[in-house]
Structure formats: C-alpha cells, structure tokens
Amino acid sequence: MKRASSVSSSDKIPEADLVKLENGPEYKSKRKYPGFRKNVHDYFTEFTENTGIHGFKYMGEQNRSIFEKTFWLILFCVSLYFCIGLIIQTYIKWDTSPVLVSFARSPTPVWQVPFPAITICSETKARQTKFNFTDAYNKFVKHRNFTDKELDRLSDIALICDSHLYNNGNKTTDFKTIEYLMSVAPQFDDIFFSCKWTMHNDSCHNLFTKHLTDEGLCYTFNMLDKTELVNDNVFLHGDYMSHGQKSEGWSLENGYPRGSPKDTFPRRAMSAGASGGLFLVLSAFQQDLDYMCKGPVQGFKILLHHPAEIPRVQLQYFRIPLNQEVVVSIKPDMMTTSEGLRGYDPARRQCFFPSERKLAYYKSYTQQNCQIECLTNATLAACGCVAYYMPHEEHTQICGSGSLKCMFEAQSALLDKDVQEGLETMDTEYSEIQFLNISRCNCMPSCTSLTYNAETSQAEYNYQEVFKAFEANISEFPGIQMSRLTIFFKEQQFITSERNELYGQTDFLANCGGILGLFTGFSFLSIVEIFYFISLRLVCNVKKYGRKYWSASPELLQDDAYIH
C-alpha cells in the first residue's frame, strides 16, 4: 500500500528527469535516485549504527560535525596501528620461538630410565711389555737403528696416540693394523680386578663388552648390542659391541614397555644410593705404563651415556687416577617433547623425532650419533678413508698414520663451517641454544634426550692395606696398581624437562582476539557482520527494491519512505 509522502515539493523528482513508458502511465527515472554517493553514505550510516566495533558509531552519525568524525577516525586508525603491530609481534614470536621448555608436572622415578652405559678406557694404549712405544719413538727421533717392522709398529700405534707424535706412515692401512692395536692394548683381565652390579654377582665378562672407540680398545657396560645399534651396511671387523642381549622393547622415546621384568635389558637400578649401583676395582701394571703415547696422566677415562648412543670418549669424560677411589653420584637429565609439537617443522621446534631423521649407519637417531656420522662422511670426502673407529662399509679404506693430519684438518674444517654458518644465520631473535644447533650436518638434538650429570668425590685408595687385611699375597700381582669406582643414582626421583607449545593455534587466535577486542572491540562476529553488509544484505536490498524502483510511478519515487 502506498504511503503518504513526507518530503517537500523541492525534493520531488522534476518531470524533466522522468520518461513515460510506452505501455502505461508508469514512469521511470533517467538517473540514479537518490544518488550513488548518498546511497553509500546512508548504507554506511546504517552499518555504523548496528556494528559493535568501537568508534564507528560516532563516524556515521549524521548530526556529528566533521571535526568529531575526523577525531574518531584518527583515534580508530591509531588504535588499529598499535593493534596490528602487536599482532605482528605475537606472530613473529609464535613463528620463531614456538617452543617453551618447562618442568614436567610430576617427578620421574629412576627405575623408569636405564642405568647409564659406562665406557671405560685405559690411558695405557700399548703395553710396554708388548711394544715399547717410548723407546721406538726416541729411536725414530734420534735416527737410531730402526727396522722396517719397528717403523710399521710405530706407525700403527701412532693411530691411538697423540696425533702430533708421528704422522709419516702410509695414508691407508688394513684390518691387520686394528688387530695388532687390540692385541697390544691392556686386555680385559688386566683392567677389571672385580665387579659388582647391585645384588647380582655376575662376572665382569657378563657385564662389559669390548668397544672400538677414539681412545682405542675400551669396555662398555649396559650398551645395546650392535644388532640394535648399527645398520646392516656397517662392517665391524671382530666381535666389538656384541653381547647378544636384546633390549626387550625399550626405546629412548617410549621407555620400558609396561609390565617389563625387573631384570630387563638395558639394566636399570630399582633404587638410589650405593645399594643400587655398580662397583668396580680397576687395575693397571707398572711395567705396562707408557708416558709418551697419551701424556703423563695414567689411570682410566670414564664416559657416561645412554644405551643407544655411541661414546666419544675424547670429548666428554672424567678421570680415575691410579691408587684413587672415585665415587660418582648420578642425576639424570631428561628432555621430552609434547605431541602438540609433532606437527611443527623440526627447525622451528629445534629437535627431531626418531621417525623424522634416519641415519645411514645408526638405527637410533641421537645428536651424538649424527655428529659421528657427519664427521665420518667429512673425513671420507677429504681424505678418501675413515678412522679405524668410525662406522664404515666393508670396502671403505681405513686411514693410516699418514692421514692423521688430513683427518684433523677435516674435523677442524667441519667445525669451522658449522660455526661460520651459525654466525651468518644467527640474528637477534635466536638464542644461544638455537645458534649452537645450526649445523651443516643438521644434527639437532633428539626430541627425547637423556644425559647423566655426575658429581664425583675422590680419596686415596690404599689397596695394599686391603690385601693385608684379607691376608692376601699382593706379590702374586707384581707391579699392580689399583683404583676403585662406585657409581649410583643420587636421588630416587628426578625432574624431567618438557618441550611444549609456547603458543598453540588456539592460544595464538586467543591472543590476537584479545588484542583486537582491547583496542577496537573487534570480534569474530564483527567479521561476519562486515561480510553480511557488503554481500548478503546488499544483494537482498538490490533484489528487493531494485524492481520496484525502476517501475515506480513519479508519486512513489517522491516518497522518502519508499527510498529507504
């Protein structure tokens, strides 16, 4: 029904702007009515009256002055500027540092983690009763009479001595050299006088496995068998790292399976303190000590590591001097990663899950294993051979003493490149930990890592008096010198660290929404409201009023109520 017009005669459309239709008395306008600009203005006014965004109401009110509208427009733009800046900062923080390291909600008992693998290496690399390295070296330096066999033996022993002593031998060698090195090294019975693991009276032979390391022949307790450590393509000359015991479902990421027995492998201690640890009496013989090969300090090097990790004794160890007793209390340091970070790129979370990074030589990914593999590849590329202790395939050449300088330079070049690339990549947003992990080898930490922090105390070990107390004849062991080692967990429980999301997607959206709401009153429904006004409502208005307008009579076109 036609409504009465509420506009004055001056607002009526002039007849000159109307044309009569051919088939009836209806009229249509020659131009847009009431004008595109006014239409947009009225539509914007309607939006500002209904929106919940702060300040828009005052911009659209028709009775407000230009000064007031400008003031609110500037104020809104300033608020929007700060709002966008804070959201950008939040996104940068979320993108570059998505990981928050925090403590776990509850402590972890020590029986949930394995007792550390313990690698023991004698400082004596060649028994002087088998080969006198000091005498052979002095003959070489002073150009005394020197047979070819002595020169070959000197070249072989130089592989496990300080690298600056002799490096004039052949570039490569063969497995016979390794066999000779192991034959002149202190043997198992020369090193282990007695052993005791918690309440079990196993012999030392059942507890320790011989291992070929960067310190020569060493012996390791509680490390996985070679079938679970290295891939099938790795060639091992001899029975090193082999003891035949399986891990029975244990893995670093998942731990021990539910219901596993007390005496599972890898071994674990059921309690803290000296009653649940490992006790060793180690020995050496005065006539076998050599002070030229590795320097003046004699005794043993000890390295603690978890069972799936290959030891690098030269990098991390503590000493047990001869005639000393060392007590080691261990505190595990475990880092886990929440499942919420699994979907992130490894470079953002700064760690690898086992399924994300496969190694060519080792079955378990750890940062240490990755670094050994990277060093092996760099040495092979630079020198055409690898060190005797490095993982390799069967037909890979073994470096002789003539390649010692090349191997050292390859290791130094690898380290220099890592540091240089780290310096080029590092910016003010990167932490020191992130910088240290930037490496051309891409050897980031494992998302589940386990290290063992050791606190040591030391005292004199008067083993001669012990022999007297037990009425034992020490003369049966001529030249023997002893050391005693005790290792146990310091506390019954320890606190685990955990990587968590600093901002999840929900947290990020909540932060952005909070900033938008604080500065502008903007919300999700505000987005819907804007799209509603520029799409659905606009289309509906055009469809609803467009046909009526173009077919309207002059009287109806003059009706302001019709226009709205």
What is the phi/psi pair of residue 281, to 5°?
-120, 115
Map tokens 């009256």 to a residue: 49
Cα Rg of the chain (Å, integer):
40
pLDDT at residue 301, as a whole number? 95
Interval 95-111: pLDDT, tens = 777 788 888 888 999 99
pLDDT at residue 53, as a whole number? 74
CATH number for 102-412+450-501 (one of 3.20.20.80, 3.40.640.10, 2.60.470.10, 3.20.20.70): it is: 2.60.470.10
Looking at per-residue confidence, does 90 or 185 come out higher?
185
Interval 297-321: pLDDT, tens = 899 999 999 999 999 998 889 999 9
Q: What is the mean pLDDT of residues 403-422?
A: 77
Please give the mean pLDDT across all residues of the chain. Answer: 81
What is the phi/psi pair of residue 329, to 5°?
-105, 130
Closest to 349 measured CA to CA, from 253, 429, 445, 252 = 445
- Is residue 28 predicted with pLDDT exceeding 90? no
Distance of CA 227 to the CA centre of its chain: 25
- Is residue 432 predicted with pLDDT exceeding 50? no
pLDDT at residue 1, as a whole number? 40
The full 3-state SS of 76-142, as one line of letters, equals HHHHHHHHHHHHHHHHHHHHHCCEEEEECCCCEEHHHCCCCEEEEEECCCCCCCCCCHHHHHHHHHC
Extents of the domains making up the chain: 9-95+505-563, 102-412+450-501
What are the tokens at 552? 């309207």
- Is residue 227 predicted with pLDDT exceeding 50? yes
- Answer yes or no: are the C-beta atoms of 382 and 355 closer than 8 Å: no
Q: List C-alpha distances in Å: 67 to 49, 55, 74, 216, 347.
A: 19, 14, 11, 86, 52
pLDDT at residue 339, as a whole number? 86
Looking at per-residue confidence, does 543 or 358 come out higher?
358
- Count the neighbouring beta carbons within 10 Å of the beta carbon of residue 126: 28
Q: What is the mean pLDDT of residues 214-243?
A: 92
What are the tokens at 177? 């050299």
Interval 468-489: pLDDT, tens = 888 888 888 899 999 999 999 9
pLDDT at residue 86, as a whole number? 84
pLDDT at residue 377, as a whole number? 93
Q: What share of the chain is helix, strand, coil (3-state, %, to 5)?
A: 40, 20, 40
Query: What global pTM score does this model have?
Result: 0.75
Q: What is the mean pLDDT of residues 12-40?
A: 51
DSSP string, 215-250: TEEEEEESPPPHHHHB-TT---SSSTT------TT-
Interval 3-19: pLDDT, tens = 444 444 444 445 544 44
Question: Is the four-CA dihedral 414, 225, 260, 271 of positive or negative sign?
Answer: negative
The full 3-state SS of 308-347, as one line of letters, equals CCCCCCCCCCEEEECCEEEEEEEEEEEEEECHHHCCCCHH
Q: Which of 12-21, 130-139, 528-537 has the highest mean pLDDT?
A: 130-139
pLDDT at residue 42, as a whole number? 65
Looking at per-residue confidence, does 526 or 180 come out higher?
180
pLDDT at residue 502, as a whole number? 76
pLDDT at residue 2, as a whole number? 41
pLDDT at residue 538, as a whole number? 67
What are the tokens at 498? 């955990």
